[in-house]
Chains A and B, each alone.
Chain A
């Protein structure tokens, strides 16, 4: 029997607010355990939550970016359950009346695009972290408790693990674009759960679903879903039944494992949060957020094609991250030829950055460096190969400067290291500048022609391919610095 897969995703995104959702504690990642806590986020007796308006704004911004209906009246609710990382014994979340409803995103799907509908987007607070130590001890770190978390729930429109991964990627790109989430899946600032079921092709009603958790990378999303779908199909094919349950992805073993069954499922006893007034979103506020929103990728990509004449492939890559697009536009605004800038970025620049996993905003080579370099190639001062070695050298020096800036207090460092590295200095230092002085090149050529009379004879007799030999000899004589264009011109004139 042929089966069809039905997947719905719940994406959790930590919002990039500086402070927590209901108190003034910092949201910074990686601080010492329980150093970013206060009586409010620890859930001490008698404390009350006060809404971080920025968090609400970020959810609305997201809602606008994915075409949701923004609710004019929205309410918070308590989700009740006991767990040590949940200090109040309830999570403040949304149940009825979320901030955003409806909407969709478009994902690439076998050469075309597919629309994935969204059910809702709501705002809630994150829980802390339980850390299980040795000797039968567990610890609780409440730094993450109360960090604003946005939940984006998709419709069950996803049909393959690949689509699920594309959906996650798209959501990540959008969230990063509008600057509401850093999208870091390893640190857990972007996470996802999936509801998965299979059904015989043609059947209308959904099969029994399982809920998948702990898929903390794009790769794992695809792998875990792939495994789970095969497991379900095999189960049905063997005459078995799917049990409604929550399953965890075990990345080490590459399998999904049962976490809790439906019978063990929590009754969260949702009810409206009496400590918070309902949120009333005025149309003027939505308009303001709309006006502030950054250009989304699809729009930017179209603009890159039309404004800069870039091929679609280039535009796609350059707009995949807002910071990459910004780097590109900066270089172009400094006078770089768009296609040339694009070629260098997608080639040497990305290779260097990817090798060391450096985000482009920290790239030691700046757009101005690339533009200077391109100019030197254009005016013939250096050739492409030389440019590449200059490029790498600037990158390396830039890194030294960055490191030095980070340790400014070290007196041993030479002062030159602090000044910005300049393209022209490197070119001079390496002695790379091409020889464009005709008389110098002419002297070298004359010398070559004199020493190789036989080859001159054969060339004149029609052996045209010997031109390469002469050029090679000229380059050799000038240690590769001769401007090849001038070499060619002079050779043609002389052998003419």
Chain B
């Protein structure tokens, strides 16, 4: 049995039955990492020793009769979530030596349930980017075509899942950073409702948009992880006190009569023809399962990218102010305080991060605030209202996840605007705070995966999971594996 190919539900069943031990499973994963990591570069830090220790501990718990979906499951964590005693870099030089003395709430939940941390995955520095090319610690490649990017910013997590370098992974999504790489890598990426999952310990990029979510091989695994990481956290006042349903309980339920909104603004020029075709076919597939397509409009979609890049960069300019070389992380000594600040930040941050800090600082500056930040907040409200209005008549909204399949490495690095546009179909969802998933819905003639995005109402991840699972189970896309 190729243990590294297992899903969470398969692996936990095998562990529970005693067919495999957590240590065997962990070893299998590290063998796989040994074999393919050089080609992929999914990890910033591989934590093998730590992982074997965790696997042994999980094995003890299994022998003591404990059961649990995550007991002994090897998982990768995006390197912008703090892990106590384990380097957390955000793929930035400025945090290149940072070892947090605390654990993020999400990884704490996983730890308590006995997960095994395979390592910390690569990302665009501070999650700013759509290709994982903006990393201080090397590029991550797309397992389907290593000349192409895995998407970003959770490119390391998505590539690790696609290349079977972990059983599942955790990512974060500010403007599409879970869904777009999931789409590019042919895996399942879920961005929960804003407030569903605690952000405590997630190194902030844009606080009002960031959400943590799972990247998995199947919809079922996604629901399993969501059951674990969801919930109100006393350490995050933006986490919602909403009740947590059992997300796996909706899997397999019929979608007959389910109204799926097809927003006209998402099927336009600029969408790759093959991507458009696959998504239209997916809609037909859902229709054949009893769902009812409804044409809808989200009229303010055209403003989403501009709105996002004002709000996200504004928040980022403030969130990243703490990296000043005074307390922790990288410091470049200067001749005085100001010089130390400037040298530290000039050398510590990469170009894209600096670009966004400058943009955000500008947008918040006295005299520009009203024209940029305030206006963008107003447009954000309109975008949110678009979705709320649409959801008065439909249960979920279906769109492509990204306008194109994975692009070539270096193709867009010279043109930030082109890069920003690769999030055009995911960004609105963050601005509106809705939950959305990306699942595989076909392959291009060049054998690149295409992703289907399913968006739900606030705190209605159940409808998203139900739809995604129904589609997944009626197709074989999720079973394909890249040849490595």
Contacts and interface: CB of A to CB of B under 8 A. Distances in A.
Interface of A: 39, 42-51, 78, 80, 82, 84, 87-90, 140, 267, 269-271, 274-277
Contact of B237 (A49, A82, A84, A89): A49
A46 B205 CA distance: 9
B199 interface: yes
B446 interface: no
A275 B102 contact: no
A40 to B, nearest CB: 8
Given A45-B90, A89-B324, A269-B365, A276 B204 contact: no
Interface string B189-232: 00000000001111110111000000000000000000000000
Given A45-B90, A87-B322, A274-B315, A80 B364 contact: yes
B309 to A, nearest CB: 15
Contacts of A42: 327
A119 to B, nearest CB: 20
Contact of A46 (B104, B337, B364, B365): B104
B82 interface: yes
A51 B237 contact: yes
B237 A275 contact: yes
B45 interface: no
A18 to B, nearest CB: 18
A269 B318 contact: yes
A385 to B, nearest CB: 65
Contact of A82 (B199, B328, B341): B341
Contacts of B341: 82
Interface of B: 80-82, 88, 90, 95, 98, 100-102, 104, 199-204, 206-208, 234-238, 314-315, 317-318, 320-324, 326-328, 337, 341, 361, 364-366, 369, 373
A82 B321 contact: yes
Given A39-B102, A45-B82, A84 B337 contact: yes
B321 A277 contact: no
B82 A46 contact: yes
A125 B83 CA distance: 28
A271 B373 contact: yes
B95 A45 contact: yes
A contacts with B: majority SS? loop
Nearest to B101: A39
Contacts of A46: 80-82, 88, 100, 104, 199-204
A45 B100 contact: yes
Contacts of A80: 317-318, 321, 364
A363 to B, nearest CB: 43
Contacts of B207: 274-275
12 contacts: A45-B90, A45-B322, A46-B104, A46-B199, A46-B200, A48-B235, A50-B234, A80-B364, A89-B320, A269-B366, A271-B369, A275-B238
Nearest to B199: A48
A84 B326 contact: yes
B207 to A, nearest CB: 4
Nearest to A269: B364
Contacts, number: 105
Contacts of B101: 39, 44
Contacts of A49: 237
Contacts of A270: 364, 369
B321 A88 contact: yes
Contacts of B100: 39, 44-46
A96 B199 CA distance: 26
Nearest to A265: B366
Contacts of A47: 102, 200-201
Contact of B318 (A39, A84, A90): A90
B6 to A, nearest CB: 31
Given A46-B200, A47-B201, A274-B315, 14 more contacts: A42-B327, A44-B102, A45-B90, A46-B104, A48-B199, A49-B237, A80-B317, A82-B324, A84-B324, A84-B337, A87-B322, A89-B318, A271-B318, A275-B207
A466 to B, nearest CB: 86
Contact of A277 (B80, B202, B234, B237): B237
B200 A48 contact: yes
B458 to A, nearest CB: 15
B365 A267 contact: yes
B88 A277 contact: no
B88 A45 contact: yes
A82 B81 CA distance: 25
Contacts of B326: 84, 87, 140
A45 B200 contact: no
A50 B235 contact: yes
A47 B101 CA distance: 11
A227 B40 CA distance: 70
A187 B338 CA distance: 29
Contacts of B208: 274
A80 to B, nearest CB: 5
Nearest to B337: A84
A276 B235 CA distance: 11
A48 B236 contact: yes
A50 B90 CA distance: 24
Contacts of B327: 42-44, 87, 140
Nearest to A275: B207
Contacts of B314: 271
A199 B28 CA distance: 82
Q: Which 3 A-B pairs have the closest CB atoms?
A: A89-B321, A269-B364, A274-B207
A84 B366 CA distance: 23
Contacts of A78: 318
B241 to A, nearest CB: 11
Given A44-B102, A46-B81, A47-B200, A276 B324 contact: no
A276 B102 contact: no
Contacts of B236: 48, 50
A275 B233 CA distance: 13
